A and B are shown apart, each in its own frame.
Chain A
Amino acid sequence: MIKLEESRTHIISALVLHKPGVLQRVSGLFTRRGFNIETITVGTSENKNLARMTIISKGDEKVLEQITKQLNKLIDVIKVRDLDPDITVKRELCLIKVHTATEKARAEVIQYTNIFRGRVIDVNPETLTVEITGDPEKIEAMIDLVSNFGIKEIARTGPTAITRGNKTI
């Protein structure tokens, strides 16, 4: 059973009108009410008039209830759902530029990338840039592995998410 006071990470999926200013309304709401945002991703949805926002936020059940209720109050927000982590697939895209000045380093990084089902997307004498997708834990693991070579730059999208099965939000 979930304890009410227990703070955990929540995945909030929201369908919002696809128009300017909506992201500001949502992020402003989080700031103003003192809710935390770990990551937020926005993109188009199955409906061309609607965008889907995936927000990762930490808080207890009470805070989560307020977040979803306050989001629902925004006129431009159509639907909000706190996704059940047990049946939710989370994916994130991460680009890592690794220092690989030696042949050996390059070979090793390429090998790790293959193991993680990533792709090398750019290479030059000094660096190698790889692309990894997966859940955030997998990406953390990859970053950990290559950090010894020297990471020059990381760009992460933050996770987006969808529930398994035929249900939609």
Chain B
Amino acid sequence: MKGGEAIIKSLRDQGVEIVFGYPGGVLLPLYDAIYDSDLKHILVRHEQCAAHAADGFARASGKVGVCIGTSGPGATNLITGIATAYMDSSPIVAIAGQVASHLIGNDAFQEVDTIGITMPITKHNYQAMKANEIPGMIKSAFYIAGTGRPGPVVLDLPKDVQEEELEYELAKAIELPGYKPTKKGHPLQLKKAAELILNSEKPVILAGGGVILSEASEELLSFANRVEAPVTTSLMGKGSFPEDNSLSLGMLGMHGRKVSNLIVDECDCLIAIGCRFSDRTTGLISDFAKNAKIIHIDIDPAEIGKNVDVDVPIVGDAKTVLNDLIRIIDMKKHSSNENKWLEHVTTFKNSCIPRLSFNEIPLKPQQVIKELSEAITDDTIVTTDVGQNQMWMAHYFASRNPRKFISSGGLGTMGFGFPAAMGAKIAMPNNDVIAVCGDGGFLMVCQDLATIKEYDIPVVICVLDNRHLGMVAQWQKLFYNERMSHTHLGQSPDFVKLAESFGVKAERIEKPGEMKEAVQRAIRSGEPYLLDVIIDPDEILPMVPPGCALTEIVGEYKVEREFPDEIIYKATSKEEGD
């Protein structure tokens, strides 16, 4: 067997059925082997989309996604997708071709130091120098990518190694003496945490992406019910807790819900699970949850104490730790009938539910998201791009299930939403998949309309079209004296015609009431579909300015109902303070 065939066989041994890739000179041996194999291959139209699709595949299914790119530019085009997966702890294996081993270091045609470049953005990477290393490397790569805190692994495979003959042996047990993720929380720490929780009067749970990665949503729900604590999430944690549950506060942070930001400020015990306290989540760190003792549960010990000082650290898998905590708390808890904290939280929450209905033209994004929500089911997977579209979705869209809200959090990669949706649809063919993008981000990856057309991947793309790089424009409006430097995108292209030129059905949505039916029509069509939704370019989302505490929300917070008088908490808005 040749190296190229060994790659495929090793991938098949890991349960891989489908890969996203783009061939090239040094990948000819591998692609020649793919020609005869039962491994399905989706030919994307840009390697970045292969990486994002593998990432979307992984996030939607929990399985490791695989992408392939050739040496040099193929590998560098994968980089953005690899870094995106790294920042959001998404398990992907990226296979990069490399020039023949005798040429490495000679600045050969399409040579780049893939190993060196990807070191800081991967969990690990490998370069095979002999074909017989391939089976073991691929097995290790999948193990590393998918266990512990997941992340991307890169395999760099020189052309001659793909051509070399080897005796294929099923890879033996993996020896990784430097890699032993901790699953179980330390008993003493668990006990301390349980005591802290039971003695607190105002507990709040902050759930991050780790809850979803560890499949701990059920445990989170039962834990929250036990300790009667409201639950806020980071962007990555969205979907880990049903947002229509009375305990749910919605997302926290710079673009978070007012109730989350203010309740976290008030709480006396913050139970953070599988989150890394990113600056977008905490706001000014010295003011973050300043009245609270903090319990931090994370599988990655390096995340504990990195950004926020923690009172009770617990290193372990969210699911295992939550189960243990539930058991300890059940033994000790005395039930009480009244819970003033929850009453207070609920009253406050009800006073600042964001307003969604706007009967206006141009459309308000809130109205668009409201209609979108009405058109889809709990099983629908929604991906977002990055910018206003993402934050509007995070803020206004109620996510009820894990792995159903997919977004680029850490890296904030424009162009992520559409290819991620493609990968999610491949992973979960029975679920409807909708990509909510901005016009800027979608244009970065629109060439892959060809891919969804050619392979008939029925994703629905909603382009929230305001002809602006909305988030940057929002900052320019708020913090740079409305000097709108290079954030207006002009009138080109016509997104409907663009989609149609690829053979993808498309319509334009301009009025309230049109969106819901259009989405249902698009889903029913069973074909790839694009909706160009013309929205109000002046709509901005209230936010916490960079460097400010979470309580310092700027911008008008439009709510469903006016504030009742008994609510003491009002955002100290910058405008009010002046």
- Count residues of A near B (Cβ-Cβ below 8 Å): 20
Give, as a whole number of angstroms, the nearest-CB distance from B294 to chain A.
15
Nearest opposing residue in chain A for B115, CB measure: A21
A77 with B119, Cβ < 8 A, contacts A62-B305, A69-B302 known: no
Are A73 and B300 closer than 8 Å at their CB atoms? yes
- Which residues in A have their C-beta under 8 angstroms from that of B179? 75
Are B305 and A65 closer than 8 Å at their CB atoms? yes
- Count residues of B near A (Cβ-Cβ below 8 Å): 16
Q: Residue A72 at the B interface, CB < 8 A?
A: yes
Nearest opposing residue in chain B for A68, CB measure: B302
The CA of A75 and the CA of B306, in the complex, are separated in Å by: 20
Q: Residue A76 at the B interface, CB < 8 A?
A: yes
B120 in complex: contacting residue of A28, A75, A77, CB < 8 Å: A28
Are A17 and B119 closer than 8 Å at their CB atoms? no
Per-residue interface assignment for chain A, residues 20 to 51, with 1 indicating a CB less than 8 Å from any chain B CB and 0 otherwise: 01001100110010000000000000000000
Are B178 and A77 closer than 8 Å at their CB atoms? yes
Q: Residue A123 at the B interface, CB < 8 A?
A: no
Are B144 and A75 closer than 8 Å at their CB atoms? yes
A66 with B306, Cβ < 8 A, contacts A17-B178, A77-B178 known: yes
A66 in complex: contacting residue of B116, B123, B176, B302, CB < 8 Å: B302
A24 in complex: contacting residue of B116, B300, B301, CB < 8 Å: B116
- Which residues in A have their C-beta under 8 angstroms from that of B302? 66, 69-70, 72-73
- Which residues in A have their C-beta under 8 angstroms from that of B123? 75
- Which residues in B have their C-beta under 8 angstroms from that of A24? 116, 119
- Which residues in B have their C-beta under 8 angstroms from that of A17? 178
- Which residues in B have their C-beta under 8 angstroms from that of A70? 302
Give, as a whole number of angstroms, the nearest-CB distance from A31 to chain B.
9
Q: Residue B177 at the A interface, CB < 8 A?
A: yes
Q: Residue A74 at the B interface, CB < 8 A?
A: yes
- Which residues in B have their C-beta under 8 angstroms from that of A73? 300, 302
The CA of A78 and the CA of B175, in the complex, are separated in Å by: 12
Q: Residue B41 at the A interface, CB < 8 A?
A: no
**Which residues of B, 55-84, contact A by the 8 Å Cβ criterion?**
none
Q: Residue B46 at the A interface, CB < 8 A?
A: no
The CA of A132 and the CA of B302, in the complex, are separated in Å by: 39
Are A78 and B177 closer than 8 Å at their CB atoms? yes
Per-residue interface assignment for chain A, residues 50 to 74, with 1 indicating a CB less than 8 Å from any chain B CB and 0 otherwise: 0000000000001001100110111
- Which residues in B have their C-beta under 8 angstroms from that of A21? 115, 119
Q: Residue B124 at the A interface, CB < 8 A?
A: yes
- Which residues in B have their C-beta under 8 angstroms from that of A32? 120
- Which residues in B have their C-beta under 8 angstroms from that of A65? 305
- Which residues in A have their C-beta under 8 angstroms from that of B305? 62, 65-66
The CA of A140 and the CA of B229, in the complex, are separated in Å by: 60
Nearest opposing residue in chain B for A71, CB measure: B302
The CA of A48 and the CA of B116, in the complex, are separated in Å by: 25
Are B176 and A75 closer than 8 Å at their CB atoms? yes
Give, as a whole number of angstroms, the nearest-CB distance from A7 to chain B.
17
Nearest opposing residue in chain A for B127, CB measure: A21
The CA of A73 and the CA of B306, in the complex, are separated in Å by: 14
- Which residues in A have their C-beta under 8 angstroms from that of B176? 75
The CA of A76 and the CA of B124, in the complex, are separated in Å by: 9
Are B178 and A25 closer than 8 Å at their CB atoms? no
The CA of A74 and the CA of B119, in the complex, are separated in Å by: 10
Per-residue interface assignment for chain B, residues 290 to 302, with 1 indicating a CB less than 8 Å from any chain A CB and 0 otherwise: 0000000000111
Q: Among A17, A29, A69, which residue has the most Cβ atoms of chain B within 10 A?
A: A69
The CA of A70 and the CA of B120, in the complex, are separated in Å by: 12
Are B178 and A28 closer than 8 Å at their CB atoms? no
The CA of A17 and the CA of B144, in the complex, are separated in Å by: 17
Are B119 and A78 closer than 8 Å at their CB atoms? no
Q: Among A62, A66, A73, A78, which residue has the most Cβ atoms of chain B within 10 A?
A: A73
Nearest opposing residue in chain B for A69, CB measure: B302
Per-residue interface assignment for chain B, residues 301 to 315, with 1 indicating a CB less than 8 Å from any chain A CB and 0 otherwise: 110011000000000
Are B120 and A78 closer than 8 Å at their CB atoms? no
**Which residues of B, 164-222, contact A by the 8 Å Cβ criterion?**
176-179
Give, as a whole number of angstroms, the nearest-CB distance from B569 to chain A.
33
A76 with B120, Cβ < 8 A, contacts A66-B306, A69-B302, A70-B302 known: no
Q: Among B116, B119, B301, B302, which residue has the most Cβ atoms of chain A within 10 A?
A: B302
A69 with B301, Cβ < 8 A, contacts A21-B115, A24-B116 known: yes
- Which residues in A have their C-beta under 8 angstroms from that of B178? 16-17, 74-78
A25 with B300, Cβ < 8 A, contacts A17-B178, A66-B306, A78-B177 known: no
Nearest opposing residue in chain A for B129, CB measure: A20
- Which residues in A have their C-beta under 8 angstroms from that of B120? 28-29, 32
- Which residues in B have their C-beta under 8 angstroms from that of A25? 119
The CA of A25 and the CA of B115, in the complex, are separated in Å by: 10
- Which residues in B have their C-beta under 8 angstroms from that of A69? 301-302
The CA of A75 and the CA of B119, in the complex, are separated in Å by: 12
Are A75 and B301 closer than 8 Å at their CB atoms? no
The CA of A24 and the CA of B117, in the complex, are separated in Å by: 11
Are A72 and B119 closer than 8 Å at their CB atoms? no
| B interface residue numbers (CB < 8 A to A) | 115-116, 119-120, 123-124, 144, 176-179, 300-302, 305-306
Given A74-B178, A75-B176, output 17 extra A-B contacts at Cβ < 8 Å: A16-B178, A17-B178, A21-B115, A25-B119, A28-B119, A28-B120, A29-B120, A62-B305, A66-B305, A69-B301, A69-B302, A72-B301, A72-B302, A73-B300, A75-B179, A76-B178, A78-B178
21 contacts between A and B (CB under 8 A): A17-B178, A21-B115, A21-B119, A24-B116, A24-B119, A25-B119, A28-B119, A62-B305, A66-B302, A66-B305, A66-B306, A69-B301, A70-B302, A72-B301, A72-B302, A73-B300, A73-B302, A75-B144, A76-B178, A77-B178, A78-B177
| A interface residue numbers (CB < 8 A to B) | 16-17, 21, 24-25, 28-29, 32, 62, 65-66, 69-70, 72-78
Closest 4 CB pairs of A and B: A69-B302, A75-B124, A78-B178, A75-B179
